[in-house]
């Protein structure tokens, strides 16, 4: 574990009809956010999610093409290929209270979304392929 220090907190809404993951990435790029945590609530018109199959070491993707509430979005921001990378998981609910969740991928369309991003100062984290899991996970660089 490495010590990080909170520096800035960004709060606000994201635009209606925009892609949720792309919007979060754009905020990070425009604000120069390289290390942070993110959370959000709101609603989506359509959700695109991923599930990582640990045996096959690959993602499967699915779309839920209906209106859903964002019960919780949690994630982190670090660097991948030198650019801000948003890694987020999302839990959604329908009008009957059924929940769905997974890895946030492009294609989740915002109805309304309120976001908090807490930026940190500390060691630079970047994502590198980790051979055991097959995932691009954090590796510490620049002590």
Task: Quick: pLDDT tens for 25-37.
Answer: 999 999 999 999 9
Give the pLDDT band (50/70/90) at residue 140: low
The pLDDT of residue 22: 98
Q: Name the residue with tokens 């809404």.
A: 13
Q: What is the widest separation between alpha-carbon atoms in the chain?
A: 49
Thinking of the domain 5-141, which architecture would CATH place it in? 2-Layer Sandwich (3.30)
β-sheet bridge partners, residue 116 = 11, 39
Please give the Cα distance from 113 to 36 (Å, whole number).
18
The pLDDT of residue 143: 47
Task: Please give the full DSSP string across 21-70, using - where no structure is assigned.
Answer: HHHHHHHHHHHT--SEEEEEEEEEEEEEEEEEETTTTEEEEEEE-S-EEE
Q: What is the pTM of this model?
A: 0.92
Give the pLDDT band (50/70/90) at residue 141: low
pLDDT tens by residue, 40-86 = 999 999 999 999 999 999 999 999 999 999 999 999 999 988 899 99
């Amino acid at each position: 574990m490495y010590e990080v220090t909170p520096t800035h907190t960004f709060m606000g809404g994201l635009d209606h009809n925009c892609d949720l993951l792309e919007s979060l990435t754009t905020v990070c790029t425009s604000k120069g956010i390289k290390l942070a945590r993110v959370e959000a609530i709101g609603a989506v018109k359509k959700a695109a999610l991923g599930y990582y199959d640990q045996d096959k070491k690959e993602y499967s993707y699915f779309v839920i093409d209906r209106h859903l509430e964002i019960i919780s979005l949690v994630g982190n921001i670090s660097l991948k290929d030198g650019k801000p990378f948003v890694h987020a998981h999302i839990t959604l609910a329908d009008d009957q209270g059924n929940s769905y969740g997974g890895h946030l991928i492009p294609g989740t369309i915002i109805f309304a979304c309120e976001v908090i991003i807490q930026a940190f100062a500390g060691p630079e984290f970047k994502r590198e392929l980790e051979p055991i899991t097959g995932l691009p996970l954090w590796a510490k660089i620049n002590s």
